[in-house]
Amino acid sequence: MLSKKTKYGLKALTFIARQEGDVPVQVGEIAKGEQIPQKFLESILLTLRKAGVLGSKKGKHGGYYLRNEPSEINMADVMRVLEGPIAMVPCVSLNFYEKCDDCVNEAQCSVHKLMIQVRDSNLNVFKNTTLADLSFSG
Amino acid sequence: MLSKKTKYGLKALTFIARQEGDVPVQVGEIAKGEQIPQKFLESILLTLRKAGVLGSKKGKHGGYYLRNEPSEINMADVMRVLEGPIAMVPCVSLNFYEKCDDCVNEAQCSVHKLMIQVRDSNLNVFKNTTLADLSFSG
DNA sequence: GTAATTCCTATTAAATCTATAGGGTTAATG
DNA sequence: CATTAACCCTATAGATTTAATAGGAATTAC
């Protein structure tokens, strides 16, 4: 199940991408427009900023903006920030590999075999989908 | 993240598939062989039996066996039983569709768009992988 | 200097996952 | 037919994670 954090984060990114103006977009605006609890959204946007996806401007008339063009922001990066590793088990994670305690023989492990395929297939989707794909057109 | 329930369930199915004998496989055997808490495993196998994946024989010398050939058991069915819907959000689930409360326009929702692709890609993997693929050979 | 906004930490509330407990039911065996 | 070994079933406790809230600190426009 997709976490609310990720769901809200994706919606917020889309919302920002669609505001084509030059001024940063405020949390309150996004929260209202997308029906997201404002304080929760604050922490999510903060995470995205710290990860380098968003930039921010503080103080009055402050807000958030994209650090790159929507077409340059791919979902693999975004999902890793919001949802964590793309792999469903650490033993098939490319970026966060960890051996299973219980698993004796990784090469023969059925979970390992299946999850490698899932990882590859998801990675393929995420890498090839950009924020622009999600934000514009039908 | 893959739940332990699913992980254990997959390992157990593989274990049973690899026992080529005619006698049912006992929970205790699987638990020992795969390092799974026995009582937890019991409940998982019960779930798989109720879903029609496994059959069981009660009483002394009882145990579990596959209801179909490993090559006929596909992972889409197994994952639905163990992990729940394959879709990461209800609004893209084929078998368990539900509209989002918050989402005003499904067609324009970025989460919806992305998750449809993820669902299709995962479904493709799960439907085309059988228990035989996971159990035998390298 | 006041108002508006992001920034940061802590905490609580809710939900889910993992595991255990305890016994009921069924069947093989001598 | 008693004993034993296995699955069957429900409930519940413990642990972890997720979701949301609270309260203010720091920063900037005006």
> A10: nearest CA in chain B?
B111
Mean pLDDT of B29-48: 96
Share of chain A above pLDDT 70, in %: 99
Residues B34-43: b if buried by 16+ CB within 10 A, e if exposed: bebeeeebee
Specify the range with the lowest mean pLDDT, choosing from A74-78, B62-66, B92-96, B99-103: B99-103
Task: Kindly report the CATH number assigned to the domain that includes residue A62.
Answer: 1.10.10.10
Read off the pLDDT band of A138 (50, 70, 90): low
Do residues A80 and A39 share a domain? Answer: no
Domain coverage including residue A94 = 72-135
Of A10, A107, A118, the CB nearest to B114: A10
Mean pLDDT in chain A?
95
- Contact at CB, B10 and A118, closer than 8 angstroms: no
Distances (CA, A) of B9 to B38, B73, B97, B133: 12, 13, 25, 16
Distance of CA A76 to the CA centre of its chain: 7
User: Does B135 sit within 8 Å of A35, measured CB to CB?
Assistant: no
Q: Nearest residue to D17 (CA, C1')?
A: A3
**Is the per-residue pLDDT at A1 higher than 70?**
yes
Those residues of chain A whose CB sits closer than 8 Å to some CB in chain B are 1-2, 7, 10-11, 13-14, 34-36, 75, 84, 88-89, 102, 107, 109-111, 113-115, 117-118, 121-122, 124-126, 129, 131, 133-135, 138
The yes-or-no verdict on residue A104 having pLDDT over 80 is no
What single-letter DSSP state applies at residue B3? -
Q: What is the pLDDT of residue A95?
A: 84
Å: B26 CA to C28 C1': 15
**In the structure, how far is the CA atom of residue A42 from the C1' atom of nucleotide C12, in angstroms?**
18
Q: Do B125 and A125 touch (CB under 8 A)?
A: no
Q: Is the pLDDT of residue B125 over 70?
A: yes
Q: Does residue A82 share a domain with residue A131? A: yes
Last residue of a domain, one of B66, B85, B114: B66
pLDDT per residue as tens digits for the range A39-54: 999 999 999 999 999 9
Confidence band for A14, pLDDT divided at 50, 70 and 90: very high
Whether the predicted pLDDT of A57 surpasses 70: yes
Looking at A66, A95, A115, the residue that finishes a domain is A66
